Chain A
Amino acid sequence: MTDAFPPDTVRCDACPVLCYIKRGHAGACDRYANHEGQLIRVDPHILLDRAKSQGTPLVPFLERDSPWDGQLLAQRETFITAIGAGTTYPDYKPAPFIVSSEVDGVDMVTVVTEGIFSYCGVKLKIDTDRHLGPERNLVRAQGEPVGHVTTAEYGSQMLSIGGVHHLTGGTKSEGRVTCETLLDLCNGKEVALTIDEGASITVAAGKPPVVNGQREERMRVGCGSATIGMFAKQWFDKVDEVVVVDDHITGVLSEHQAGKMLGVRETGIDIQGQRSTPGRYFQVAQPGTGWGGTNISDPLTILKPFKVKSAWPGLRLLMVSTTGEQFAYYELDDALRPVEKDLPPALRESVTRIRENCEPALTTVLFMAGAGGSLRAGVTENPVKLTDSVKHSLTRVTAGGAPAYIWPGGGITFMVDVSRMPENAFGYVPTPAIVAPIEFTLKKTDYASLGGHMDSVRPLQEVLREKERQRQIASSPENPWPLKPPAPGSHE
């Protein structure tokens, strides 16, 4: 019977059902799965393991079940994350895990809980020069409004997804789709979004965005004007005129300060759009998904006829976008009309260099949420003292072991880069609301003084003995180790 199954099917022996599990699937229990041919346990409480800062993040359970007890703590440091820990709901209980450990001779306490967040969302930074949609327009998933377009930033477009008004303030369907979209984005899955009067995009944390079906490869090297400045020397003598097409500032070599310094001759070029300073033009076209974030596919449409007084037949013109992905080379004929020619090898190099100097375009997902009353009450009998302690950097806040940025001002409103958190760290409840891990780490003496639940503090070794539902994973090498005692007065 076994022979009939593909070679990477595993037979799970965790219970007498003895499921055959195909690669990428889970068994009948949904708790054991076949991950690249290895049987792994998928649901348990996640512990970060500092010793294994490189290598596979998932530990095969057979290996885990080989002798492994508290003794290993002597060589390895372990941090209990809140992933899978459970919550303080309803409102009055201490957090599920309050764990003490000694780190560099200092007694530390980590309060580990999963927060239920209705006040939450994600900020998406999408590296693209293409126009995704007008500011303030709705962003939709499966047709439901789940967020909006906010500001354009340097080389990227910001979207705000989620927030309490979409989660619980709209229709049932809007809330459900918003919850699903947030969950997928936070867990690193691919999500398809459309923007009213704008583009359709597919995004996933840490991956290049896909805009209208086209994968975005690179961020622009700079605005059109900056590109002229960077490459003027390389173009000088090889071409008479260069236009760097950019939705923000289109640059023109002969008029630009950089060209003037090199003594580039006047060419009689005449550009559409609004001249800002010499050689720099705003609004040469409409925003779009064509050249340099404009709506144009034929760059000649931004040129008016060359001025007869200054231009000359044979004039060499390079037009290029800010990422070097689009380019065209022309020479003027006797009637001073640009005629497209093959790009000369000498110029090819400069276009390639623009491309090489562009960073890879990514989508980044920051989860943002506020730790409210019940969550803080699970940490201390005196919730406001926790806020104060966090503000004074005496308490470190992490989410699944990843560092969280705490907003100044009232409350504990934090942001965390989901790519730095372990896989599938987020969950949901039917409210709908997102469940996210959050850990507070502080000195034991500080915990006592802010009214912590001292009766519920358990030593790390004791928690680790309950290996029943635990999973150890490697800590991400880019994250600071969450258990390091904070230096007094330090601000991280």
Chain B
Amino acid sequence: MRDPAIIRLLLDGRRLHLNDGPIDLIIEADGHATAIRAAYEAAARRFVTILDELCAELPLLRCRSAHSSPQPRGRIASAMSAAVRPYCERHFITPMAAVAGAVAEAVLAEMTRAADLERAYVNNGGDIAFHLAASRRYTLGMIERPDCPTLFGSVEVSGASSVRGAATSGWRGRSSSLGIADAVTVLAETAAQADAAATIIANAVDLPDHPAITRVPASEIAPDSDLGAIPVTREVGPLSASDVDTALHRGAQLAETLRDRRLIHSAALCLQDRVVLVSPSTADASYCWDGLLRPSAATAHNPLAPQRSSHHA
């Protein structure tokens, strides 16, 4: 029995909520009222067929990516496949690693095609595609633990930079991770690229054979997981500071390589309250990471985080 897709405005009257099966999008556009309406209608129209398009090719999208992999037919599936291809030689990765980013991107593209927007974002469970006019900015808050989140930092992106996608991966998230990072947030030119890279970097933040880490075959959690019998992280016990640094360093090294290959712009890696930042290769004034090293300032951009003096109840 299929549930119908949900298409509705959230209670604030500004944001659009689209849901179909596992796809859950929160969308917001800034611009003229008629432009926003046109963009939301375009988003909804595009949205309603996405799940069926993807499911039609699901077996292929769940297979390990290789240079010899067949080309998927759907546009979103092709974008997923293209986003993971650069990793296929050295890493186990399937196109599903980029599904959230690719869907966000596809919906955003319809919106900007339908209307002239100042700013817009499509947030697909933390994997975000955004549109920015040159003079506009977005501030993204970052959380490391979805089960009990606090902001560990924020990043401000301006339209002048080429960053248009952000994604976060970690073992506590909705998808399984091979690594132990609480969260790896990646900025890249597209959301699909960011999504694939965040997966790969989060997998690399790891301490193989460490006794404090519990792993189980992915198929034991979800019988039809694209990761098959590969062990995925289920629990990470407290780690010593040097272990945390070792694991973060491994992830950061890979992130630097990906940055130098121009697959990503920058990344923030978080594990047990320690954060490592892999900065953009050239000093890029068009965006800046904030709060990562100053925890007390980390809440500054969060609308839900009141100032110390005015607690909400």
* Residue B308 at the chain A interface, CB threshold 8 Å: yes
Q: Residues 29-63 of chain B: 1 if any A CB is under 8 Å from the residue's CB, otherwise 0?
A: 00000000000000000000001100100100000
* Residue B221 at the chain A interface, CB threshold 8 Å: yes
User: Which of the candidate stretches B115-123, B131-139, B142-150, B254-262 sits at the interface with the other chain?
Assistant: B142-150
Q: Which of B51, B220, B222, B295 contacts A19 (CB 8 A)?
A: B222
* Chain A stretch 454-484: residues in CB contact (< 8 A) with chain B: 468-469
Q: Are A374 and B55 in contact (CB under 8 A)?
A: no
Q: Which of B145, B222, B299, B312 contacts A25 (CB 8 A)?
A: B222
* Residue A27 at the chain B interface, CB threshold 8 Å: yes
* Most B Cβ at <10 Å: residue of A96, A115, A430, A469: A430
Neighbouring B residues of A117 by C-beta, 8 Å:
312-313
Neighbouring A residues of B3 by C-beta, 8 Å:
14-15
Supposing A15-B51, A118-B306, A176-B150 touch, asked if A468 and B2 sit within 8 A by C-beta, the answer is no
Q: Residues 271-313 of chain B: 1 if any A CB is under 8 Å from the residue's CB, otherwise 0?
A: 0010000000000000000000001101100111110100111
CB distance from A414 to the nearest CB of B (A): 11
Supposing A180-B148, A375-B313 touch, asked if A20 and B223 sit within 8 A by C-beta, the answer is yes
Q: Residues 1-31 of chain B: 1 if any A CB is under 8 Å from the residue's CB, otherwise 0?
A: 1110010000100000000111010000000
* Residue B90 at the chain A interface, CB threshold 8 Å: no
* Chain A stretch 384-436: residues in CB contact (< 8 A) with chain B: 428-433
Q: How far is the CA of A18 from the CA of B3 in the complex (A)?
A: 12
Q: Are B148 and A16 in contact (CB under 8 A)?
A: no
CB distance from A247 to the nearest CB of B (A): 33
Q: Are A430 and B11 in contact (CB under 8 A)?
A: no
Q: How far is the CA of A449 from the CA of B167 in the complex (A)?
A: 50
* Residue A116 at the chain B interface, CB threshold 8 Å: yes
CB distance from B98 to the nearest CB of A (A): 15
CB distance from A44 to the nearest CB of B (A): 11
Nearest residue, chain B, Cβ from A16: B55
* Residue B108 at the chain A interface, CB threshold 8 Å: no
* Residue B151 at the chain A interface, CB threshold 8 Å: yes
Supposing A15-B22, A370-B313, A372-B312 touch, asked if A431 and B1 sit within 8 A by C-beta, the answer is no
Q: Are B273 and A173 in contact (CB under 8 A)?
A: yes
Total number of B residues with any Cβ neighbor in A under 8 Å: 43
User: Which of the candidate stretches A164-172, A223-231, A327-335, A347-355 sits at the interface with the other chain?
Assistant: A164-172
* Residue B67 at the chain A interface, CB threshold 8 Å: no
* Residue A342 at the chain B interface, CB threshold 8 Å: no
Nearest residue, chain A, Cβ from B306: A431
Nearest residue, chain A, Cβ from B221: A25
* Residue B224 at the chain A interface, CB threshold 8 Å: yes
Supposing A28-B22, A172-B273, A371-B313 touch, asked if A9 and B306 sit within 8 A by C-beta, the answer is no
Supposing A20-B224, A430-B305 touch, asked if A175 and B150 sit within 8 A by C-beta, the answer is yes
* Residue A487 at the chain B interface, CB threshold 8 Å: no
* Residue B238 at the chain A interface, CB threshold 8 Å: yes
Q: Are A172 and B150 in contact (CB under 8 A)?
A: yes
* Residue A236 at the chain B interface, CB threshold 8 Å: no
Nearest residue, chain B, Cβ from A375: B313
Q: How far is the CA of A119 from the CA of B302 in the complex (A)?
A: 19
Q: Are B21 and A22 in contact (CB under 8 A)?
A: no
Q: Are B11 and A86 in contact (CB under 8 A)?
A: yes
* Most B Cβ at <10 Å: residue of A16, A18, A169: A16
Neighbouring B residues of A27 by C-beta, 8 Å:
22, 222
Q: How far is the CA of A93 from the CA of B303 in the complex (A)?
A: 16
Neighbouring B residues of A19 by C-beta, 8 Å:
222, 224
CB distance from A12 to the nearest CB of B (A): 9
CB distance from A406 to the nearest CB of B (A): 15
Q: How far is the CA of A179 from the CA of B147 in the complex (A)?
A: 10
Q: Residues 172-212 of chain B: 1 if any A CB is under 8 Å from the residue's CB, otherwise 0?
A: 00100000000000000000000000000000000000000
Neighbouring A residues of B223 by C-beta, 8 Å:
4-5, 9, 20, 22
Q: Residues 94-138 of chain B: 1 if any A CB is under 8 Å from the residue's CB, otherwise 0?
A: 000000000000000000000000000000000000000000000
Supposing A15-B21, A16-B2 touch, asked if A432 and B222 sit within 8 A by C-beta, the answer is no
* Most A Cβ at <10 Å: residue of B11, B20, B21, B58: B21
Q: Are A62 and B51 in contact (CB under 8 A)?
A: no
Q: How far is the CA of A117 from the CA of B303 in the complex (A)?
A: 15
* Residue A142 at the chain B interface, CB threshold 8 Å: yes
Q: How far is the CA of A183 from the CA of B145 in the complex (A)?
A: 14
Neighbouring B residues of A372 by C-beta, 8 Å:
311-313
Q: Are A119 and B151 in contact (CB under 8 A)?
A: no
Q: Which of A29, A180, A374 contacts B147 (CB 8 A)?
A: A180
Q: How far is the CA of A428 from the CA of B147 in the complex (A)?
A: 9
Nearest residue, chain B, Cβ from A116: B312
Q: Which of A17, A28, A86, A374 contacts B312 (CB 8 A)?
A: A374
Neighbouring B residues of A115 by C-beta, 8 Å:
313
* Residue A13 at the chain B interface, CB threshold 8 Å: yes
Q: How far is the CA of A5 from the CA of B22 in the complex (A)?
A: 22
Neighbouring B residues of A431 by C-beta, 8 Å:
150, 299, 302, 304-306, 312
* Residue A67 at the chain B interface, CB threshold 8 Å: no
Q: Are A369 and B313 in contact (CB under 8 A)?
A: yes
Q: Are B143 and A430 in contact (CB under 8 A)?
A: yes
Q: Are A29 and B6 in contact (CB under 8 A)?
A: no
Q: Are A14 and B150 in contact (CB under 8 A)?
A: no
* Residue A242 at the chain B interface, CB threshold 8 Å: no
Supposing A117-B313, A118-B306, A431-B306 touch, asked if A17 and B22 sit within 8 A by C-beta, the answer is yes
* Chain A stretch 25-75: residues in CB contact (< 8 A) with chain B: 25, 27-30, 62, 65
* Residue A89 at the chain B interface, CB threshold 8 Å: yes
Neighbouring B residues of A25 by C-beta, 8 Å:
221-222
Neighbouring A residues of B6 by C-beta, 8 Å:
468-469
Q: How far is the CA of A336 from the CA of B27 in the complex (A)?
A: 86
Q: Are B52 and A16 in contact (CB under 8 A)?
A: yes
Supposing A15-B20, A29-B22, A374-B312 touch, asked if A432 and B150 sit within 8 A by C-beta, the answer is yes
Q: Are A89 and B312 in contact (CB under 8 A)?
A: yes
Q: Are B1 and A428 in contact (CB under 8 A)?
A: no
* Residue A252 at the chain B interface, CB threshold 8 Å: no
Neighbouring B residues of A374 by C-beta, 8 Å:
312-313
Q: Are A179 and B150 in contact (CB under 8 A)?
A: yes
* Most B Cβ at <10 Å: residue of A14, A171, A431: A431
Neighbouring A residues of B55 by C-beta, 8 Å:
16-18
Nearest residue, chain A, Cβ from B150: A176
Q: Residues 55-78 of chain B: 1 if any A CB is under 8 Å from the residue's CB, otherwise 0?
A: 100100000000000000000000
Q: Which of B22, B24, B302 contacts A430 (CB 8 A)?
A: B302
Which 5 pairs of residues, A with B, have the shortest CB-CB distance?
A15-B21, A372-B313, A118-B311, A29-B22, A180-B148
6 interchain pairs (CB within 8 A)? A29-B24, A169-B308, A172-B296, A183-B148, A430-B143, A431-B299
Known pairs A29-B24, A172-B150. 15 more at Cβ < 8 A? A16-B21, A17-B21, A20-B223, A30-B22, A89-B312, A115-B313, A118-B313, A168-B308, A168-B311, A430-B149, A430-B305, A431-B150, A431-B306, A432-B150, A469-B6
B-to-A contact residues, CB < 8 Å: 1-3, 6, 11, 20-22, 24, 51-52, 55, 58, 141, 143, 145, 147-152, 174, 220-224, 238, 273, 295-296, 298-299, 302-306, 308, 311-313
